[in-house]
Chain A
Amino acid sequence: MATTTPLMQLLQGYLKVTSDRQQTIASNMANVDTPGYHTKDVNFQTAMQQVVEEGNNARLAPASTEVQGLPERPDGNNVNIDRESLLLGETQLQYQMAVQLIKSEFHRLLTAIKEGS
């Protein structure tokens, strides 16, 4: 009998996508003073689809794309600190939500086991 439910597998993929996105945001923040650097982001839809299709086969690096439409500074860098700080907080909350859902899913499973005895 499988102890991982379909929901849990989906949440596992969600955790991977959010941590990949968080890594991309951290990379943008790290390069805030690098001349010519362009802001990158993870496309949620593509990344989630990829994770669901590939299952547990871990990818080597997050599939990131360059963000269009951000104003460039004179040195060719277009990292916006406000945008990155906001996304950092947002992604952290998304991650926390997935963790809470996984915990409640395990709890549900545990309840089913305990009711049997």
Chain B
Amino acid sequence: MGLFDMMGISASALSAERQRAEVTSANLANAETTHTDSGGPYVRKEVVFSASNMSPFSTVLNRLGRFGHAPAGSVQLTQVVEDTTPPVMRYEPGNPDADKNGMVAYPAINPVTEMVDLMGAVRSYQLNASAVTAAKQMIQQSIDILKSS
């Protein structure tokens, strides 16, 4: 069913963009975090998107095996990678996380970059939400054929 597949594709994008916004929010929230479970400051994270380009045959097989599988042409968040930028050192001798020189490692997070990324995620979310609305209207129109004119 073309129209329901269309909704599935848009839904995959909504989910991916929401996860991107979540990761960006986590970066913003932890911009000043100097202490984590693994030791050291918080490390900035980035998302990696990829298009699922399955051949039609495997798409059909997947649909037989698992119900509600994302149709071909949808987008997936494949992994969350860590930014390798070295931490920013600040001189704060009173901080319990300071080293012997009195320097504290802060995560290399620029709030402006994160805000721009967050805005991009929100706009992409809106774009795909409008595609879902279009699909819903088209399905409704198809149902309207049944109504007596």
Contacts and interface: CB of A to CB of B under 8 A. Distances in A.
Chains A and B are bound partners = yes
Interface of A: 15-16, 19-20, 22-27, 29-35, 37, 40, 60-62, 81, 84-85, 88-89, 92, 95-96, 99, 102-104, 106-107
Contacts, number: 107
Interface majority SS on B: helix, strand, loop or mixed?
helix
A107 B148 CA distance: 8
B49 A35 contact: yes
B13 A29 contact: yes
A95 B127 contact: no
B69 to A, nearest CB: 14
Given A27-B72, A103-B145, 9 more contacts: A22-B2, A23-B3, A29-B127, A30-B73, A31-B73, A34-B49, A60-B57, A95-B138, A99-B145
Interface of B: 2-3, 5-7, 9-10, 12-13, 16-17, 20, 49-51, 56-57, 59-60, 71-75, 120, 124, 127-128, 130-131, 134-135, 137-138, 141-142, 144-145, 149
